Chain A
């Protein structure tokens, strides 16, 4: 029997009647309208959900050595990230690492399906984040309203990530170029996903934007 997991944000999306699809065993919103509508909203202020991507996380003083032995290139500085092949490698603080495949199977899937990490000062971390993407010309305006920090200045270095609060929810935040455009990626505890989705889409709609499906970014 195969189980399809609902996304952590699905409760907040049903009223918009998205076209749903399955990715990595999770039901995820693919489209919230025609391609023309999606394009227009994403250009102004779009909010999309990437929660279905496979993740793998470890922490501890032995995490860096273990990941390096698995062939993972690690960000050299705390609170920074890099892209290795199709996998996003995030260094959260000094000694915690989060790997997330980007749509296609990558290093996170390989490590998740392999033997559990065992070693001194090495601790697996279960991640069930809600992962959102904020795009469009008003993305920074939205973040300016919901963040106490000037995230534009903090994220001026493209390889830096922030752990801060957005709309009073603890998030990991970074800026990334996706399909040639600058977008803002957010990860938060999955249980806060519907709230954050509701807040961000409501603000995006004030700018003339709205929810955007995963298929807008990945075919």
Chain B
């Protein structure tokens, strides 16, 4: 059974979580060029590596950040958004 650690609720089976996608910085829609905006909307980074991702613990409604190596599927750490320094 795969496990993931929610920073609020502790370690839980992966079936309790929902993947929310990689964290990406949104360009300013008013300032971005069409190509930059299109790249943000349509393109994703497919190369494996350590990525920051959104995950959601569904029984508690907790969104948090997981730093996961998408090549090895190992999670380095998890923390609430904005509390990276406490992880």
Q: Contact check: which of B1, B16, B61, B62 meets A164 at CB < 8 Å?
A: B16
Q: Contact check: which of A93, A149, A168 meets B60 at CB < 8 Å?
A: A93
Q: Which residue of A lies closest to B12 (CB)?
A: A164
Interface flags, A162-175, vs B, CB<8A=1, else 0? 11110010111000
B81 to chain A, nearest CB (A): 13
Q: Enumerate chain B residues within 8 angstroms of A170, measured Cβ to Cβ.
A: 16, 58-59
Q: Enumerate chain A residues within 8 angstroms of B1, measured Cβ to Cβ.
A: 148
Chain B 40-66 residues near chain A, CB threshold 8 A: 57-62
* Interchain residue pairs with CB less than 8 A apart (8): A79-B8, A149-B13, A163-B9, A163-B60, A164-B9, A164-B59, A165-B59, A170-B16
Beyond contacts A148-B12, A149-B13: 16 other A-B pairs, Cβ-Cβ < 8 A, are A93-B61, A93-B62, A94-B8, A148-B13, A148-B15, A148-B16, A163-B59, A164-B9, A164-B12, A165-B13, A165-B15, A165-B58, A168-B15, A170-B16, A170-B59, A172-B59
Q: Enumerate chain B residues within 8 angstroms of A64, measured Cβ to Cβ.
A: none
Q: Enumerate chain A residues within 8 angstroms of B12, measured Cβ to Cβ.
A: 148-149, 164
Q: Enumerate chain A residues within 8 angstroms of B57, measured Cβ to Cβ.
A: 163
Q: Enumerate chain A residues within 8 angstroms of B16, measured Cβ to Cβ.
A: 148, 164-165, 170
Q: Enumerate chain B residues within 8 angstroms of A79, measured Cβ to Cβ.
A: 8-9
Q: Which residue of B lies closest to A170 (CB)?
A: B59
Q: Enumerate chain B residues within 8 angstroms of A93, measured Cβ to Cβ.
A: 8-9, 60-62
The complex places the Cα of A148 from the Cα of B57 at a distance, in Å, of 15
Q: Say whether, besides A148-B13, A148-B15, A164-B12, A171 and B62 are in contact (CB < 8 Å).
A: no
B30 to chain A, nearest CB (A): 28
Q: Which residue of B lies closest to A166 (CB)?
A: B59
